[in-house]
Amino acid sequence: MPNVYQFKDFEGSSHRILIDLIRSHARRGGRLLDLGASTGQLGAAVRDQFARTIGFEYEVECIESLRESFDAASICDLEKLKRLPQNLDAIVLADVIEHLRDAPSILHLVRGSLASNGRVFVSVPNIANITVRIGLLFGIFEYRDRGILDNTHLRFYTMRTIRRDIEGAGFRVIAVRGSSVPIRLIIGSFTPEPLLRLGEKLLTIVTRMWKSLFAYQIIVVAEPTASS
């Protein structure tokens, strides 16, 4: 299997939050484009809401699973795209733009591809998360294979900077959520399930109260501004 991100479906996870936001903010019966669709599990989870779904992914090994999850799928390099399908109702950029050299360009491209009442759904890691701050306090800033300091990340975002980039591309932010630290992936292999669920519930509450400090990932919903 290619080096793609694991689908996370547990309380407080970014994918579960994205699914909830797509169901509540995207027009039912419209068209969805998932950019950086990985193995297609997010697209499959919301496929019943749309008349047509499309998945774009960089890793060619994902094509078979994408064909099962979407009505149409394509392998492509997002940094080389000059045009996207037009008049889309929903575009998803989940764990994508932090990997791009020119994230503002893809956001402008997305803006030009949405219908006037379409929505974009973006998730990025929060570099201001408390775990990173504590590490910096002790002089630690080490890249990892996964997580906020993934060694393939080219950009780092806070609540303020992701909002600024999205608004700068011609969008109005209508919702911001924060996912909680995925303790299930960190300590889940040796922690009883009831204790894990309790920890996830508590972290979800704390993250909701103080997103800028405790959000592991920032999830944003935005719509095109009328003036753009």
pLDDT in tens, 153-192: 999 999 999 999 999 999 999 999 999 998 888 787 778 8
DSSP secondary structure code for residue 193 in this structure: H
Take residue 142 and report the two structure tokens written for it. 């080490």
Can you list the positions of beta strands (E) in 76-113? 88-94
Sequence spans of domains, the chain: 14-223
- pTM confidence score: 0.92
Residue 195 to residue 182: CA distance in whole angstroms = 14
Residues with Cβ within 8 Å of 148's Cβ and at least 6 positions away in sequence, in order, are 125, 126, 127, 129, 131, 132, 216
Q: Residue 86 — very low, low, confident or very high, per pLDDT cuts 50/70/90?
A: very high
What architecture does CATH give domain 14-223? 3-Layer(aba) Sandwich (3.40)
Residue 93 to residue 33: CA distance in whole angstroms = 9
Q: Residue 34 — very low, low, confident or very high, per pLDDT cuts 50/70/90?
A: very high
- Residue 6, pLDDT above cutoff 80: no
- Residue 145, pLDDT above cutoff 90: no
Q: Angle CA(21)–CA(24)–CA(28) in degrees, nearest 5?
A: 120
Specify the length of the chain in residues.
228
The 3-state DSSP class for residue 35 equals: strand
Query: What's the rounded mean pLDDT across residues 38-43?
Result: 92
Q: Which residue has the higher pLDDT, 92 or 191?
A: 92
Burial (Cβ within 10 Å: 0-12, 13-18, ≥19) of residue 5: middle
pLDDT at 123: 97
- Rounded mean pLDDT of the chain? 91
Q: Which residue has the higher pLDDT, 3 or 69?
A: 69
- Residue 2, pLDDT above cutoff 50: no
Take residue 56 and report the two structure tokens written for it. 């774009």
Q: List C-alpha distances in Å: 178 to 14, 128, 209.
A: 8, 12, 10
